[in-house]
Structure 1
Amino acid sequence: MTDEKTRRPAGRLIAAAAVLGLVAGAAAIYVKETWSGNGAGGAGVQTAASCPLAKETVAAVTPFLKGQVAAMAPADDPRPMTGLAFTGDGGKPLTLDDFAGKTLLVNLWATWCVPCREEMPALNALQAAMGGDRFEVVAINIDTGDDEKPKAFLEETGVDALGLYRDASMGVFNTLKKEGLAFGLPVTLLLDANGCLVAAMNGPAIWDSADAKALVTAATGVAPKG
């Protein structure tokens, strides 16, 4: 459970994110622009034709996009995101297709992004409470350079349930920006078990809250552990 010190800053950040959302592109101040992409040649974001069942999931989760996760918006055009590429432990190449069969909460973060740092312990707690064969939090760090800085941050903050996933090229962010899904950091996507977009948001949330867990349960049918 998140203590009061964690909840208070996160609550302020959510309020700030709501205000910033009224100013187009305001959150982009957290991101250093690059020209790299991700999933070139159609491997990143694809058409909605292969997501015929995703709209049912969108309808199922929409009533739960409230409270601490009210900033997350249901997808108008669910489409596959499985080709987004990044690396795992030891620099192993991965795409979201490697997580097929799991509902995913994909979060893009950086050590230089203050709201990202604030919400990381809550994402860790959500993974600890609900992660398993049917759900995973995939938090992708987009710091440039090597793994040392993000790895040290996770260790210092006691984040032990999340994998160290990275994209030092920022290609994942740039692809999502082109798709109108990313304006700054953090960026969070909810994907169904087929890798199809269900909902998305820019800005932080209290991911270990009852609202967040209810949203994951609605998407997966899985209740929190314990």
Structure 2
Amino acid sequence: MADMMRNLPALRLVAIAAAAGIVAGVTSLYVMGGPDGNTGETAQAGACAANAEKVAALEPAIGGEVAAMLPADPPQSMSDLAFNGPDGEAMTVADLSGKTLLVNLWATWCTPCREEMPALDALQRENGSDKFEVVAVNVDRGSDEKPKAFLEEIGVDSLAYYRDNSMDVFNTLKTRGLALGLPVTLLVGEDGCLLAHMNGPADWASVDAVTLVQAAMGEGGG
């Protein structure tokens, strides 16, 4: 008993050191964020914040048929936005890096979506390239049968078939304050950063839409 009493100060020091180690470990985990932690998101946000001047330069091209477009405020990364590609495999916007993208979420049960689909197809047909793509993501629940039949019925043949039957892509945008309903459209730069966004339909085959896309690509309007 006497030996235990004599060792109490030492035991207290060991306990304190252990507690300090635990706190330091937790702090380290929080700061580092781990492989999927906060540091990656912070780095992406920082990179997109540098696009503020590009977003400001885009504003004069917003008008007419695309007047409902809102400049990104603040610019944020869309690189992790996930859906399935034309091959049915999971992908993200990051897989399309190097292109300016017009990402459009649509569904067959959404009347405005159905009405603007031919214009999106025309925009891709006339302006699609290795530098620009219309990424129309269908969010119907269930199988591919209904959306594919609709696209075939109206003669859409220039748009690649992107798909998310879980609605996760819509819900992700909703939590970010970018989606209120369908259709929702995002103008994304070649670095995956959001430049502008819109809720509701537009005439994407119009001169105004082409001018906006050209401005996003840094080509000027006309």
Calculate the TM-score normalised by the size of structure 2: 0.78
Q: Relative contact order, CA 8 A, sep 6+: which one is greater?
A: 1
Residue 60 of structure 1 and its aligned partner are, at CA, apart by 1.9
CA distance in 2, matches of 1:45, 1:206: 35
Structural mapping, 1:17-166, within 5 Å: 48-166=45-163
Q: Deviations over 1:6-41 (max 9, x none)?
A: xxxxxxxxxxxxxxxxxxxxxxxxxxxxxxxxx999
Structure 2, unmatched stretches of 5+, are 1-35
* More displaced stretch, 85-94 vs 179-188: 85-94
Contact 1:126 1:207 in 2 (8 A): yes
Q: Does 1:173 align with 2:170?
A: yes
Contact 2:49 2:74 in 1 (8 A): no
Cα RMSD of the aligned pairs, angstroms, is 2.3
Residue 91 of structure 1 and its aligned partner are, at CA, apart by 1.3
Structure 1, unmatched stretches of 5+, are 1-38
Q: Deviations over 1:26-69 (max 9, x none)?
A: xxxxxxxxxxxxx9999999852121442122122110110000
CA distance in 2, matches of 1:107, 1:195: 15
Calculate the TM-score normalised by the size of structure 1: 0.77
**In structure 2, what is the equivalent of residue 6 of structure 1?**
none
Contact 1:75 1:197 in 2 (8 A): yes
**In structure 1, what is the equivalent of residue 205 of structure 2?**
208
CA distance in 2, matches of 1:44, 1:181: 18
CA distance in 2, matches of 1:193, 1:56: 15
**In structure 2, what is the equivalent of residue 17 of structure 1?**
none
Larger radius of gyration: 2
CA distance in 2, matches of 1:197, 1:210: 22
* More displaced stretch, 139-148 vs 85-94: 85-94
Q: From the two aligned structures, give the one with the greater helix fraction.
A: 2
CA distance in 1, matches of 2:102, 2:167: 18
Q: Deviations over 1:167-221 (max 9, x none)?
A: 0000000000000000000000001110101100100000000000000111114
Corresponding residue pairs, total = 186
- Give identity over the alignment, percent: 60
**In structure 1, what is the equivalent of residue 11 of structure 2?**
none
